[in-house]
Structure 1
């Protein structure tokens, strides 16, 4: 592969972004050199890839002025390289600051210029503030995807993220439906995607294999490589990799969003 595929995945906190990111990263690792950058203050994106939580960039730079690649980069399943930006203590400081510090340090250490086929950013999307908007910018990510369920708050956050994508004129590749088992959930998410001018790029069903894998700090791809769930992660990874259908989304206004959701 000649050009690095740079993917930013956004979504409401707790919607399952990290599970999807870690599993598609594991799927990509079967054929690609992969870097995963956790941009969530919880710093738990890479736990199932590495097998434990890793030190964050913010923690490291608090202790010392300089940092080497060996101190911030950790090898995970399939050779996936893993980084966590981290964030301040709850209630103290700006949560997005860790992302800004992390991006600056990764650039300085020339991590992005390494032999990489795929870079995936896992980004909190409840509020697209200056820090969390960094991966949306052209120099870091080429395309953006949103993870959502059919729940009101998840879709509300997804609509807000679309506003950020539109403002920064980023390339929106579609919606990932992470099912919670609601009635007509795929239909609801599909209608939402259509309303903002996009599409569903993949559907991931709720599965007990996710919890079983995460108990052991593993991805489903590693723990249950022959399962149907793993095949769905591989299918999603492939769909994202081959996707060439990008738009600048048209988010709904508040009244339009309320009217949209009430019909279900």
Structure 2
């Protein structure tokens, strides 16, 4: 996997990580062999690439002692390879365990030895537990991007993710602003990126095309390929692919973060 672009996308639940990951994967698929690994217990990262929900690695292993590649890796839109690690039922067990189990199985099945160009991990950023650090800690991913809006909880989670990246000495490639339409949003996210020693690498405006596509379990790039919104995802994919500026982030402590956020309100 030495020449493979290995990207981890983190962010709080509901911020638009899966939408971002699936659309940039669709963009990459035009010229590259792509593998997408959903590391969110909701197991919904690849729904718009595959057209429906996939069996998760954890569920497959519950039913079978020894899974094969075809049991856990599924071909989606434009030959994107799709995997969902899965997680336990709500309130039962560790959500990060699915990530650990999935990575171990994919390594054992030599999925990473395939002729890949891009591997993208979609990782939940609300929970700071061992499983969600695996893409970084185990050196599966070389670079990290954080999806956030200008909202308090999204930025709070982004700042926490920066703490994890710093601890693991990961490479932060930039902040992706997935707009929710709040006042001064781009300014807030730009200032946040500067504050943690990074940059905004992409801005995705709000668009009803996202929901319209997702209702049909498709990416914007598949459903509305000529739309402006598809163009924003294409540009983000290109900017991430060619990015070679990385930093170890400098997160704010809680008092500093509160003060930072208050200045905009």
TM-score, structure 1 as length reference: 0.99
Q: Which residue of 1 aligns with 2:127?
A: 127
C-alpha displacement of 1:27? 0.2
C-alpha displacement of 1:127? 1.7
On the 8 A contact 1:36/1:121 being kept in 2, the answer is yes
Q: Which residue of 1 aligns with 2:139?
A: 139
Q: Which residue of 2 aligns with 1:18?
A: 18
Alignment partners' CA distance in 2, 1:49 and 1:252:
36
Q: Which residue of 2 aligns with 1:212?
A: 212
C-alpha displacement of 1:2? 7.5
Is 1:111 paired with 2:111? yes
Q: CA RMSD in A?
A: 1.0
Is 1:76 paired with 2:87? no
Q: Which residue of 2 aligns with 1:155?
A: 155
Q: Which residue of 2 aligns with 1:8?
A: 8
**Mapping of 1:82-97 within 5 angstroms?**
82-97=82-97
Q: Which residue of 1 aligns with 2:40?
A: 40
Structure 1: runs of 5 or more not aligned: none
Deviations 1:3-37, CA, capped at 9 Å, x for gaps: 10000000000000000000000000000000000
Q: Which residue of 2 aligns with 1:62?
A: 62
Q: Which residue of 1 aligns with 2:203?
A: 203
Deviations 1:180-216, CA, capped at 9 Å, x for gaps: 0011100000000000000000000000000100110
Deviations 1:75-125, CA, capped at 9 Å, x for gaps: 000100000000000000000000000000000001011100000000000
On the 8 A contact 1:138/1:170 being kept in 2, the answer is no
Q: How many pairs were matched up?
A: 264
Deviations 1:214-247, CA, capped at 9 Å, x for gaps: 1100000000000010011000000000000000
Alignment partners' CA distance in 2, 1:10 and 1:86:
16
Alignment partners' CA distance in 2, 1:40 and 1:139:
18
Alignment partners' CA distance in 2, 1:201 and 1:128:
24
4+ residue segments displaced more than 4 Å? none
State the secondary structure of the residue aligned to 1:127: coil
C-alpha displacement of 1:137? 2.3
Alignment partners' CA distance in 2, 1:88 and 1:2:
33
Alignment partners' CA distance in 2, 1:138 and 1:165:
13
In 2 relative to 1, CA 2–90 (structure 1 residues): closer, same or farther, beyond 3 Å?
closer
Q: Which residue of 2 aligns with 1:178?
A: 178
C-alpha displacement of 1:139? 2.1
TM-score, structure 2 as length reference: 0.98
On the 8 A contact 1:33/1:117 being kept in 2, the answer is yes
State the secondary structure of the residue aligned to 1:230: helix
State the secondary structure of the residue aligned to 2:21: helix
Q: Which residue of 2 aligns with 1:166?
A: 166
Alignment partners' CA distance in 2, 1:41 and 1:32:
27
On the 8 A contact 1:171/1:247 being kept in 2, the answer is yes
Deviations 1:61-87, CA, capped at 9 Å, x for gaps: 011110000000100001000000000
Alignment partners' CA distance in 1, 2:154 and 2:103:
27
Alignment partners' CA distance in 1, 2:2 and 2:168:
26
C-alpha displacement of 1:138? 5.3
Structure 2: runs of 5 or more not aligned: none
